[in-house]
Amino acid sequence: MVTSHETVNALLAFAAATKTLLQDAGTPEIIRDKLARLAAELRDELSGDKARQVDGAEAEAVINSFLPTVLQSPPQPGGEIPSGGP
């Protein structure tokens, strides 16, 4: 299958717009839900290697999101990392 440059450009723009909409707290919930569901369905169609890459990137992003909290917290006795929960 040969994909045109226009299609590739449209998908790149759609991916960037989707990321922005999912990150924006002002995006209506129904739009966020539909975009998240579409992304999940597309992820399910990835090959094993690509799916693992996506899983790894997602895990890295989640873990990195905790870094500011950890860096701002005072050191814990025994070098324990403070929990982010209640």
With a cut of 60, say whether residue 73 has pLDDT above it.
yes
Q: Is residue 20 part of a domain?
A: yes
- Please give the single-letter amino acid code of residue 25: A
Q: Is residue 5 part of a domain?
A: no
Q: Is residue 76 part of a domain?
A: no
With a cut of 90, say whether residue 3 has pLDDT above it.
no
Q: How many domains does one find in the chain?
A: 1
d(CA 81, CA 19): 30
Taking CA 32 as the corner, what is the angle to CA 30 and CA 38, rounded to the nearest 5 degrees? 100
Q: Is residue 7 part of a domain?
A: no
Q: Is residue 56 part of a domain?
A: yes
Task: Give CA torsion, residues 25, 30, 34, 37, to 10 deg.
Answer: 80
| Section 66-84 average pLDDT | 71
Q: Is residue 4 part of a domain?
A: no
pLDDT digits (tens, 9 = 90+) for 37-51: 999 999 899 998 999
Q: Is residue 9 part of a domain?
A: no
Domain extent at residue 38? 14-71
